[in-house]
């Protein structure tokens, strides 16, 4: 049977393809031999089209690094998700996420969703390289011989790994294939935050796969602006803390304030500052589980500013008392 592929952006409105088995995700982790070399189907088809200016890297590590670096410059939450996926692939398991890569020869689930012939220089026999199964836990059945061949064939393995990463929440193999081409393109590398957001939204891509374009996470510029604002607030709190300590020391020397009050108030300030610092320095590149916290960074800033106001009021009160 001829394999067909329809490469226009109108395919974004297509309904998801059905897997051969209800528990298998039908989205095409396939490879093909072209001119005697092992290639990924996505790489072959996207290089054969004119949708993007495809970047060819010398190896898959360089390709993945290039993609991750640009995501870190634009939407770091997406970069985090990709890095976590790749870490699981390298280790072949992630016990916390209950995800495993299991080697073997996957059965062909006929999920490539093709609409035109593969190029003449390629075999018409596709090789099922990976099959993704979700229940009762997430696992990827992969052909180790094919992956080894792809690993030693330029940046081909990068195409396969990005394909499998994109399978999280995207059902249509054709959508994945074109989006894969975008991530490996000059257009992607030249895109800023706004352009990338619009483009990913057209492809129904979102970081938490909830259909909300804001789920790409905070953009790099927004994160930097918020970090700068929080850093400034923290420095102000630290200055206020020093002033407060000095005033309390004066009260203690004068016998006007119990030592217990000093200790309690000092511990409270330290707790607040520690919380805010962890939110900044431990959160920017935090794991997926902390992303919700980071998205609520504005609330944390408000909390910090309220604390600063409370401290200022306390200092004013202390100064008033000391003048009596």
Structure tokens at 256: 């006007």
- 0.75 exceeded by pTM: no
Asked if 230 and 300 touch (Cβ cutoff 8 Å), the reply is yes
- Which residues lie across from 31 on neighbouring strands? 40, 127
**What is the domain partition of the chain in residue ranges?**
9-216, 220-322
pLDDT at 278: 59
Q: What is the 8-class DSSP label of residue 29?
A: E
Could you state, in chain order, the average pLDDT of each consecutive group of 10 residues for the chain (324 residues)? 35 33 54 96 93 96 97 88 94 91 80 71 92 90 96 97 89 90 97 88 64 55 73 74 74 66 66 60 42 54 70 69 56
Asked if 76 and 284 touch (Cβ cutoff 8 Å), the reply is yes
Q: Where is 216: in which H helix or E strand?
A: none
pLDDT at 18: 28
Structure tokens at 54: 């495809």
For the chain, how far is it from start to end, CA to CA, in angstroms? 95
Ramachandran class of 110: left when φ > 0, alpha when ψ lies in -120 to 50, beta otherwise: left
pLDDT at 170: 82
């Amino acid at each position: 049977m001829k394999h067909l592929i329809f490469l226009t952006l109108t395919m974004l409105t297509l309904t998801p393809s059905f897997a051969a088995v209800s528990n298998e995700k039908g989205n095409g982790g396939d490879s093909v031999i072209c001119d005697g070399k092992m290639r990924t189907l996505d790489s072959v088809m996207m290089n054969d089209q004119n949708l993007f200016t495809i970047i060819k890297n010398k190896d898959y590590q360089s390709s993945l690094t290039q993609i991750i670096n640009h995501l870190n410059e634009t939407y770091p939450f997406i970069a985090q998700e990709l890095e976590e996926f790749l870490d699981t692939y390298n280790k072949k398991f992630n016990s916390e996420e209950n995800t495993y890569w299991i080697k073997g020869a996957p059965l062909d689930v006929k999920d490539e969703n093709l609409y035109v012939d593969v190029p003449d220089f390629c075999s018409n026999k596709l090789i099922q390289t990976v099959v993704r199964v979700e229940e009762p836990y997430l696992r990827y059945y992969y052909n180790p011989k094919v992956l080894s061949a792809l690993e030693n064939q330029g940046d081909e393995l990068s195409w396969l790994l990005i394909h499998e990463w994109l399978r999280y929440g995207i059902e249509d193999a054709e959508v994945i294939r074109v989006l894969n081409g975008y991530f490996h393109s000059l257009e992607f590398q030249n895109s800023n935050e706004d352009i990338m957001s619009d483009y990913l939204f057209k492809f129904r891509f979102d970081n938490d796969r909830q259909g909300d374009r804001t789920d790409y996470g905070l953009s790099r510029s927004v994160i930097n602006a918020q970090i700068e604002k929080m850093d400034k607030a923290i420095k102000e709190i630290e200055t206020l803390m020093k002033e407060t300590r000095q005033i309390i020391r004066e009260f203690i020397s004068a016998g006007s304030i119990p030592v217990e009050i000093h200790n309690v108030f000092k511990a409270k300030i330290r707790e607040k500052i520690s919380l805010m610092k962890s939110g900044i320095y431990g959160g920017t590149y935090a794991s997926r589980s902390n992303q919700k916290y980071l998205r609520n960074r504005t609330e944390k800033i408000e909390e910090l500013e309220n604390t600063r106001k409370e401290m200022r009021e306390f200092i004013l009160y202390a100064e008033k008392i000391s003048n009596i």
